[in-house]
Chains A and B, each alone.
Chain A
Amino acid sequence: DAGVIQSPRHEVTEMGQEVTLRCKPISGHDYLFWYRQTMMRGLELLIYFNNNVPIDDSGMPEDRFSAKMPNASFSTLKIQPSEPRDSAVYFCASSPTSGAMWGEQFFGPGTRLTVL
């Protein structure tokens, strides 16, 4: 069974450009999470979805960031326009609603974003 899939794995772009990060969660998982990881701030939750509906986006840093989940198997995180301070590793994770370890999140490999 495939895990969480993210693309691209690496992205280098110039300031002002639009960046779109993609995520395919594990089939059957009801929750999808977007995180950002930096040395300074650690692992930050940006937004999460339940059954394709955004539940909490309070972690989204500003209006330049937006996330969508048009269906159960696909989500995007978009940054427009991008800035150098957006450089980070962006993780997508998914989680089932129930199970012995409810709450366990399965992480994708991450997208390393560099904004020049």
Chain B
Amino acid sequence: AQKITQTQPGMFVQEKEAVTLDCTYDTSDPSYGLFWYKQPSSGEMIFLIYQGSYDQQNATEGRYSLNFQKARKSANLVISASQLGDSAMYFCAMREVNNAGNMLTFGGGTRLMVKP
């Protein structure tokens, strides 16, 4: 079974609008962390935001926020006021505490395209 599922291979959003990128995960570990990375066309992987499974509040970092619904096992990324520079691939990833090392399991990614 897929541990991280990103069901939207590609999405369009109008500049200045908000967009939600979906991520669902599968784990039986009570302690885990969820990460979002951005990969622009230049290729580098850029860390965006982190959510711990025991965090009481949803994580926020500037225009990025994470809509964490633990019971539904979803960790959707919300980007507010989209900018042209937000056009990129976005990857959701998970680290389980029972994981022997600091391994991250990545989803397949969502390509976001921001329209002017």
Contacts and interface: CB of A to CB of B under 8 A. Distances in A.
Contacts of B50: 101, 104
13 contacts: A31-B101, A31-B102, A45-B104, A50-B101, A89-B43, A105-B104, A107-B37, A107-B44, A107-B46, A109-B43, A109-B44, A110-B45, A112-B43
Given A50-B101, A107-B46, 6 more contacts: A48-B101, A102-B95, A102-B102, A104-B35, A105-B104, A107-B44
Interface of A: 31, 33, 42-43, 45, 48, 50, 55-56, 89, 91, 93, 95, 97, 101-107, 109-110, 112
Contact of B100 (A33, A56, A97): A56
A105 B95 CA distance: 10
Contacts of B43: 89, 109-110, 112
A45 B91 CA distance: 14
B106 A95 contact: no
Contacts of B33: 101-103
List 4 tightest A-B contacts by C-beta distance, closest first: A103-B95, A107-B45, A95-B102, A101-B50
Most buried by A among B46, B50, B100, B104: B104
A107 B43 CA distance: 11
Contacts of B95: 102-103
Interface string B92-116: 0001000011111010110000000
A84 B75 CA distance: 37
B39 to A, nearest CB: 9
B16 to A, nearest CB: 29
Contacts of B35: 101, 103-104
Interface in B13-49: 33, 35, 37, 43-47
B78 to A, nearest CB: 19
